[in-house]
Amino acid sequence: MKAPLPTEPVFENPIPVEATLNQTTDPDWSGLQTAVQACTRCELHQTRTQTVFGVGNPSADLLIIGEAPGADEDKQGEPFVGRAGQLLNAMLQAIQLTRGDVYIANILKCRPPNNRDPRPEEAALCSAWLKRQIELIQPKLILALGRIAGQRLLQVDTPLAKLRGAIHTLPMTQTPLIVTYHPAYLLRSPGEKRKAWEDLIFVKRTLGGYH
């Protein structure tokens, strides 16, 4: 029997991630997938079709974190499969990456009804799952897509424009984190694509792809 994950919100957790890495009580990748599928920690389990765990290479250097599944993702059980996902694929292609080269997850594993923003308590309750994914993936870099993912991961309320263009560190870890626009925002504001492109070059350079 797997012991349950800690219930405290993960990014407020005062225990450094390093200190939790070797705990035998923490689930491995498949145990984590099983636990997420069965999750009833918040109300969203009542309205979801299925949980959306993540997709890609669980040993990836780059972990991309979006906000929450939408209707398409809820149906298919995979993050970023709708229009925003197609743009994300094109953004990855622009820096010679595919979905299989990276890992893609969200702040929330379940779809908020009517695509409303994640509530802070939902993000807090869901955060232990993402924390464990980060521990297991051990990415070299996290790319947060959009204001909600950036603010939530960094535990700040700084506007997105001010979060861009810097290498932050995920609190309680050594993991570098860059913030860029959410592809759904870029679909609504295509004029900002140039800035997103700059961010992607920054990501590639930070990963050591461009010298």
Q: How far is the CB of 3 from ligand URA (least distance, A)?
A: 29
Q: How far is the CB of 105 from ligand URA (least distance, A)?
A: 8
Interface residues toward ligand URA, by CB under 6 A: 66-70, 73, 79-80, 84, 106, 184
Tell me which residue has its CB nearest to ligand URA.
66
Nearer to ligand URA, 117 or 198 (CB): 117
Nearer to ligand URA, 68 or 137 (CB): 68
Q: Which of 195, 170, 191 is nearest to 180 (CA)?
A: 195
DSSP 56: E
Q: How far is the CB of 108 from ligand URA (least distance, A)?
A: 9
Q: How far is the CB of 180 from ligand URA (least distance, A)?
A: 12
Nearer to ligand URA, 106 or 175 (CB): 106
Q: How far apart are CA 108 and CA 127, in angstroms?
A: 8
Nearer to ligand URA, 27 or 69 (CB): 69
CB distance 157 to 129 below 8 Å = no
Q: What DSSP string runs through 159-185?
A: -HHHHTTS-EE-TTS--EEEEE--HHH
Q: Which of 104, 172, 110, 174 is nearest to 144 (CA)?
A: 104
DSSP 22: T
